Structure formats: C-alpha cells, structure tokens
C-alpha cells in the first residue's frame, strides 16, 4: 500500500464526508429502502429519513428494524453494503462550491484529513470519483466491519495516528455527532448548515461556529483556528452566530 503523504504541521482541518462534502442523502435512503426490502420490510414512503445521514450504519439499521420487531442488523447492513457499492455511492455529487473550497483550503497550506463514519475504503473511492482524494493527507473512517465509526473514537484515533495538535485544529461537519466528537477530543468544531443536521441541531450540540455554504467555510475555519485555545482543555470561546 502506498504510504499516505505526510505534512510537517501538527495543525489540521478535519472534514466529514456525507452532508458536508457530498450530497449523499438520496443514494443512502434508496439503498436503505432496498436493503430492508430484501428482509421483507417496506419503509413508509412519507417517512422523514434525513436523520439516517451521519450515524453509524448498525445504529441506523437497529432503529429502522425495531419498527418491524426485527433484530437482523448484520443481515441488513450486508444488504445495504451490496446495494450501496453497486449503485448508491454513484449518487453522491459534490455540494455546490465544495470543489472550489477544497482547492482554496489546499492552497492555504492547511493539513487536510477526512473523518467519516463511512467505511474508509468506500470514502476513499468516493473521494477518488469526485476528484478530491489528492487534497487529503489522510482518510479515516469505519473499519470494514463497521467498528470504529463513532466520532469521538474515530477522531481520537486520527489524532493519535497523525500526531496532530487538537487544540489548534478544527472539525467540520453537518451533524451533532461531528460536533460532539470534536469536543470530546478538545477540538473546535464548525457546523455545515447546508447539510442534513440543520441550525437547531448544530447550535444545540455547541458548534463553535457555523458556515452557511462551502463558499464561506474557509473564512470560518480560519476564524476558528485564530480563536483556538492555546492549550487542550482550556474553555472555548462562545460560538459565533450567523445572522
């Protein structure tokens, strides 16, 4: 395996994938419906399923299956994976402005790392398909068996493996899991308002800052890095509110 490129800086920008870089909702939900269909279940066509983008897949399947009194989580996960790798991952376009943001972030000299609950091998394939993989100094996600997907554990593993300074780094994501995962590791977090969590969820989670589009994200990242506490564990400044 080709070694990951190394970067001398211990300061980093961590990016979520689903709902932050790629608009994956439709592909994910279609694959969930097909997977449950293979187990004999039909999800309500009018059900609000935005919540399925972000949490670890086994947790999603356990919650969906509980509505049918079914506990076949492993079988559902395997069915989802087959469907997602066959078609769902193709339905994951970049959000408008992400390509330009990534180019600008790379040009800024910041170290860029992926932190996603999606299995790492799938995340890498999606980044490659969308022409973004070359911007990343490292990619971290769930293991093939879906373990290690919880954001506090995932970010902690990334910090240790990459020897980054959490107090001078920032996580960007669209769900509360991204915010709480960063804060559990003494890292600041920016909420992506164009994703699937929404302002209320991100503010309730304690996001240190919010960006309303990929076009304004780099400025918010720089603001948070400037305001970062000099030592891990030091209290963070109050979150900035957008108009």
Per-residue pLDDT at 164: 94
Structurally, the chain folds into a number of domains equal to 2
3-state class (DSSP) for residue 211: strand
For residues 163 and 47, state if they share a domain: no
For residues 164 and 223, state if they share a domain: yes
For residues 148 and 40, state if they share a domain: no
Per-residue pLDDT at 123: 94
The residues of the chain scoring below 70 in pLDDT are 1-8, 229-243
For residues 98 and 216, state if they share a domain: yes
Per-residue pLDDT at 243: 42
Question: Does 143 reside within a domain?
Answer: yes
Radius of gyration, alpha carbons of the chain: 18
**DSSP β-bridge partners for residue 114:** 15, 139
Q: Which domain holds residue 197?
A: 12-23+93-227
For residues 200 and 118, state if they share a domain: yes
Write down the pTM of the prediction: 0.84
For residues 153 and 219, state if they share a domain: yes
For residues 204 and 159, state if they share a domain: yes
CATH of the domain at 55: 1.10.150.240
Question: Does 38 reside within a domain?
Answer: yes
Question: Does 114 reside within a domain?
Answer: yes
For residues 100 and 113, state if they share a domain: yes
For residues 72 and 145, state if they share a domain: no
Catalogue the E-assigned strands of 10-169: 12-15, 111-119, 138-142
Within 8 A by CB and 6+ apart from 128, the residues are none
CATH of the domain at 148: 3.40.50.1000
Within 8 A by CB and 6+ apart from 139, the residues are 4, 113, 114, 116, 120, 123, 124, 127, 133
Half-sphere exposure of 218 (CA within 13 A, CB side): 16
Taking the CB of residue 235, how many other CB atoms lie within 10 A of it?
A: 6
Please name the residue ranges forming H helices in the chain: 25-38, 57-66, 73-86, 98-107, 120-129, 151-162, 176-183, 199-205, 214-227
Per-residue pLDDT at 239: 53
For residues 191 and 135, state if they share a domain: yes
């Amino acid at each position: 395996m080709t070694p990951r490129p190394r970067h001398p800086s211990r300061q980093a920008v961590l990016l979520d994938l689903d709902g932050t870089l790629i608009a994956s909702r439709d592909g994910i939900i279609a694959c969930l419906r097909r997977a449950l269909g293979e187990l004999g279940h039909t999800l309500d066509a009018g059900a609000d399923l935005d919540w399925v983008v972000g949490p670890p897949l086994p947790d999603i399947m356990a919650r969906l299956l509980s509505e049918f009194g079914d506990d076949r989580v492993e079988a559902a996960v395997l069915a989802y994976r087959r469907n997602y790798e066959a078609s769902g991952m193709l339905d994951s376009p970049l959000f408008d402005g992400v390509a330009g943001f990534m180019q600008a972030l790379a040009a800024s000299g910041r170290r860029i790392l992926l932190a996603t609950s999606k299995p790492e091998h799938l995340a890498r394939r999606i980044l490659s398909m969308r022409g973004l993989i070359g911007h990343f100094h490292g990619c971290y996600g769930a293991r093939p068996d879906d373990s290690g997907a919880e954001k506090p554990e995932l970010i902690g593993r990334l910090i240790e493996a990459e020897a980054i300074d959490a107090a001078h780094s920032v996580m960007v994501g669209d769900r509360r899991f991204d915010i709480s995962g960063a804060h559990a590791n003494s890292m600041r977090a920016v909420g992506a308002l164009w994703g699937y969590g929404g302002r209320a969820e991100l503010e309730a989670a304690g996001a240190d800052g919010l960006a309303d589009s990929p076009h304004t994200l780099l400025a918010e990242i720089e603001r948070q890095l400037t305001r970062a506490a000099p030592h891990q564990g030091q209290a963070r400044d109050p979150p900035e509110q957008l108009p």
